[in-house]
Amino acid sequence: MKVTINDVAKLAGVSMKTVSRVINKEPSVRKKTYDLVMSAVNELNYQPNIAARNLAGTSSFAIGLVYDNPNAYYVIDMQNGVLSRCKDEGYELVIHPCSYLDDNMQDEFKTMIKRSRLAGLVLTPPLSEQQSIIDMLDELGVQYVRLLSGREGDISERNNCILVNDFAAAYEITEHLISLGHKRIAFVLGDKEHKSTSERLAGYHQALKDHNIEPCDDLLYEGSYSFESGVNGAKELLKDGNPNMITAILGGNDEVAAGALFAARLMNIDIPSELSITGFEDSPFSRQTWPKLTTAHQANDVISEHAARLLFSKARGSRKQDKDIKTTFTPSIVIRESTGPAK
């Protein structure tokens, strides 16, 4: 019934170890031997047993994806990106959602790592930004790659980081609005614990500055990355008697923007003739709102796939950075119907 490495070795007329070398793509196996083994592998339809590999080897054949993010679209994209790489490499993916507010999260996390002996971890924001987590992983000697909001050359230890340039994205979005004649541009910010929030804010400020527009704190709403926050933020910013004459709102992400859109509708404000709204990320539902959202496209599946690439390359201990791995991503603006000329 079940085919083991020994069966393959016997059929190919080589030692078990040589088969092991072949399936692990180790160097110094003669081409002829390689082919011999491979045909035996195919004939028997041999599948190496992951548990045995994990047990015998120094590192395991599984990596973990750790996230604390309520956004389903984001998580699914992350998973799929990492998964596609895992499949190519013959690894398993252990998913680990967790709440970084939870006190024993860190312990639980540690337990998981010890149990599964993961080859490495992909960390997404905001966990990837937590120093205590990073310290723990360093102490445990676990490989990891961090997905971070930041600009090129931002981080000293950037050789295990994948950066998303939210600064540039926000700059570009803001500039787009300015070019449409907007001057009173509000911003419903995401969770302030997220680095992306401060990066996006910085990009927004820089764009205003470069175009000689005075920033104003009254135009900022400190919210979170949720639909509700978008609703509340927009209501607050647009409420009667607000002297700000807001003509555009940047949503912290697409969900927030969708919430703002929702609030605008409640208040009978027409988009985009009376108010322009923008998002970030270009998640599917930025195309499902009415009108569709102008946003900054961020290919999360591609990004996470590169994170996995980087992790594998590190795990293999390759000195030189693999040329195919891109470590900085800059979202680019997608103009749809939620933005228009300032009234």
Q: Using CB under 8 A, pick the residue from 38, 44, 94, 267 that binds a copy of itself.
A: 94
* Residue 310 makes contact with DNA by CB under 7 A: no
Q: Identify the residue whose tokens are 């609005």.
A: 177
Q: Which spans in 90-165 are helix H? A: 105-116, 131-140
Q: How far is the CB of 30 from DNA (least distance, A)?
A: 4
Separation CA 295–CA 169 (nearest Å): 9
| Least gap, CB of 90 to DNA (angstroms) | 10
Q: Which is nearer to DNA, 114 or 287 (CB)?
A: 114
b/e map 106-127, b = 16+ CB within 10 Å: eeebbebbeebebbbbbbbbbb
**Residue 246 contact, options DNA, a copy of itself, none, Cβ 5-8 Å cut-off depending on partner type:** none
CB closer to DNA out of 5 and 264? 5
Which residue lies nearer to a copy of itself by CB, 295 or 327? 295
Give least dist CB 26 to DNA, A.
7
The DSSP bridge pattern shows strands 92-97 and 120-123 to be unpaired
Q: Which does 341 bind (CB under 5 to 8 A by kind): a copy of itself, DNA, none?
A: none
Name the pairing type of β-strands 144-149 and 276-278: unpaired
Report the run of H or E that residue 254 belongs to, with start and end: helix 254-266
CA gap 60, 321 in Å, rounded = 22
Which residue in the set 50, 134, 136, 202 belongs to the binding site for a copy of itself (CB under 8 A)? 50
The CA–CA distances, whole Å, from 243 to 184, 191, 236, 238 equal 11, 26, 12, 9
Q: Select the residue interacting with DNA from 52, 72, 140, 266 (CB under 7 A).
A: 52
- Write down the least CB distance from residue 311 to a copy of itself, Å: 18
Interface residues with a copy of itself (CB under 8 A) are 2, 47-52, 54-55, 60, 72-73, 75-76, 79-80, 83, 90, 92-95, 97, 111, 114-117, 227, 258-259, 261-262, 265-266, 284-285, 287-288, 290
